[in-house]
Amino acid sequence: MSDFVKRTAAKLNTVFGFFILVVVLFCIKTYIAYQTEFSLGVKGGIQQFLLVVNPIPAALLLFGIALYFRGRLVYWLMILIDLIQTSWIFANILYYREFSDFMTFSVIKGSGNVQNNLGKSIGQIIHPIDFFVYLDVVLLIVLLMTHVIHVDSRPFKRRYALTMTVLAFSLMGAEYGMANANRSGLLTRTFDNNYLVKYLGLNEYAAFSVYQTQKQSSTRAHASASDLQSVKKYLKHNRVGDNPAYFGTEKGKNVIIIHLESFQQFLINYKVDGKEVTPNLNKFYKNQNTMSFDNFYNQVAQGKTSDAEMMLENSLFGLPQGSAMTEYGTQNTFQAAPAILGQRGYTSAAFHGDVPSFWNRDNTYKSWGYNYFFSSQYYKEKPDYSVGYGLKDKIFFRDTSKYLQQLPQPFYAKLITLTNHYPYELDKENTDFPATKTGDKTVDPYVQTAHYLDEAFGEFLTYMKQSGLYKNSVIVLYGDHYGISNNHRPAIAQLLGKKKVTNYDLAQFQKVPLMIHAAGMKGGINHTYGGEIDVLPTLMDLLGVKDNHTIQFGNDLLAKNRNQTVAFRNGDFVTPQLAKVSGTVYNTKTGAVVKPNTVQKKRLAREQNHVTSELSLSDRVIQGDLLRFYQLKDFKSVNKGKYNYKYSNGMQQLKAAQKSKPTSLMAKNHGKVTATYKTDAPELK
């Protein structure tokens, strides 16, 4: 054995030597995970340097805790701390792979309601190589158990342990100073968790997430009516009027909203092997009575579907971390679409073929004023009726039709589809469309479930026409968020027919469809720029509902003088001329990188201020529960206690409602259905 090996072995047989070994191995694997598992958007030498060193301060601090103990306990404490930190990395690898974001304390707190279905797709998410992140933990245990490394029973001097602690905090301070110099306002203005991780590290990000969650709790406790003044001032300055040509044209009609799960705009008119992925949606998109928006963006963050619902029905943004529905849906006061229309004679109902607790819907929908919530307990369940995250769309639409027949009109109904949800699973009996051939197992089946969704919509469209709903309803279709995350760049490039994709391409890839259809409405392709935050004011104006004094951050998409700046939850934005994505400015029309001139810089600064203001003010409304202080003359606060969504209660209330208000399709047809639902779902044959 060489002298070098002997000296190295001797050093490892000391407490401090083992400590250094643990720290080095942990930092190496963390850096490897940064580079291979996460898309952090690292640019320049400073960011590269910070990415290398950011695991070190937290590692010194946390592993240094063990140095205050003695004997064998020191070693096993380090291994235990390593195991806990590694599990945090492992959990984030899986979470990031599906959601393109990092876990927050808000997400963890809501795990019972939100993540209970993650296990359904875990087989697709997890890769055997992921477990290599635990390799150093196993190695350290083996080295100790086989006595390759001997336990040093001598006490480690307290002053040296204290020195490690002080050094750790000093390095954290220096690291934050460098990070803040490179990214001003890192902790005060950031809307993107990627920034926190690449600058400060996963452990510091976790600590900041805990701080943010606790801060949110205290924010509500200290909020007051005066906090609304800045919100009202902003809205008064930025709100635009309605379009007289459309205002009230659909007054009194039913509203049927179809939530197209994970459905992106690029699917419209997209072909695989010469076949249209979505022929039924394509026809609906081009219908002369359908207003279709081709520059409409999803604006969700971690809350994904729940963020989309929050914007759709409240015109409030989702939160930068966690889910507003999960965190605030139970206790907060809202002025949501079901309640607004409910106080104008509408019956409201949400339909969803999954458990009612997912995204805390069973509580949030009460806060929003939904009369009925038809969840999985209202649908027949057989083993082959469900896939992935719930009831298959063809069966869902068929079974939903019988409840729609019984709803007193006019009604406001939201139907949430599920089959086109990651991991895009579908049995062979329902798969009649070719997959794409990108070689990405996550991406390729996406078009198959999208095609199935399209077939299900086609059947439902036929039913609406035959039943009488089609001519007396405003039908709204929208995609809630992306289906293919930015982690699949090579596959996305192939789908778009490009050699590689830029950040600009990925921003444009966030477009989702919005279609608003009504009999007699002048349709066409509308090129205005907008997002999910704008749906509610657009719908209210079509229905003739004055909402001048409501707290809504969107604007009518049909208004002629609207600001077309679309804010993304991370603080980026897009306008018809310029787009700012990950710190780079692009020409929106061409995708070319722009070096802004003086005039453009001033405009970009104004737009950035506008985006930052509306995001932060919307957060203030939700986190402070400010609507509890805001009383409108024509709106009464929702009494959550009068709603009960259990099957027995729901059916009793539905029967009673039909007697007191006999305006449903069945009531008008002497208790008989107005159309027989036809589906080719093989499970029902």
d(CA 306, CA 309): 5
Helices assigned H by DSSP within 357-445: 361-368, 393-404
Q: Identify which of 501, 500, 507 has the alpha carbon closest to the alpha carbon of residue 588.
A: 507
Distance between CA 175 and CA 199 in Å, rounded?
8
- CB neighbours of 307 closer than 8 A, spacing ≥ 6? 299, 300, 301, 317, 318, 319, 323, 324, 481, 569
Greatest Cα-to-Cα distance within the chain, rounded to the nearest angstrom: 97
Residue 162 CA to residue 354 CA, distance in Å, equals: 53
Q: How far apart are CA 524 and CA 362, in angstroms?
A: 37
Binding residues for Mn(2+): 261, 305, 480-481
Q: Which residue has the tokens 């806060």?
A: 367
Q: Are 97 and 487 in contact (CB under 8 A)?
A: yes
Residues 6+ apart with CB under 8 A from 105: 206, 209, 210, 212, 213, 321, 322
Phi then psi dihedrals of residue 581, to 5 deg: -130, 120
Catalytic residue numbers read 305
Is residue 287 within 8 A of residue 524, CB to CB? The reply is no
State both tokens at 150.
């001997």
Q: CA-CA distances (angstroms) from residue 73 to 128, 172, 324?
A: 32, 27, 43
For residues 562 and 538, the answer to whether their CB atoms sit within 8 Å is no
CB 511 within 8 A of CB 482: no
3-state SS record for 30-82: HHHHHHHHCCCCCCHHHHHHHHHHCHHHHHHHHHHHHHHCCCHHHHHHHHHHH
Q: DSSP 3-state assignment of 332?
A: coil
Q: Using CB atoms within 10 A of its CB, is residue 134 exposed (0-12), middle (13-18) or buried (19+)?
A: middle
Using CA atoms, how far apart are residues 497 and 358, in angstroms rounded to an integer?
37
Cα–Cα distance list, 108 to 99, 360, 641 (Å): 14, 14, 28
* Dist CA 290 CA 519 (whole Å): 9
Binding-site residue set for substrate: 421
Residues 392, 393, 395, CA angle at the centre, nearest 5°?
A: 70
String of DSSP letters for 232-295 = HHHHHHH-----TTTTTTTTT-EEEEEEETT--GGGTT-EETTEES-HHHHHHHH-TTEEEESS
Give the annotated binding-site residues. Answer: 261, 305, 421, 480-481
- Peptide bond preceding 662: is omega within 30 degrees of 0, i.e. cis? no
Q: Which pair of structure tokens corresponds to residue 307?
A: 């963020």
Per-residue CA distances from 181 to 202, 585, 604 (Å): 20, 20, 21
Residue 605's alpha-carbon distances to 373, 433, 570, 582, 601, in angstroms, are 44, 47, 16, 15, 6
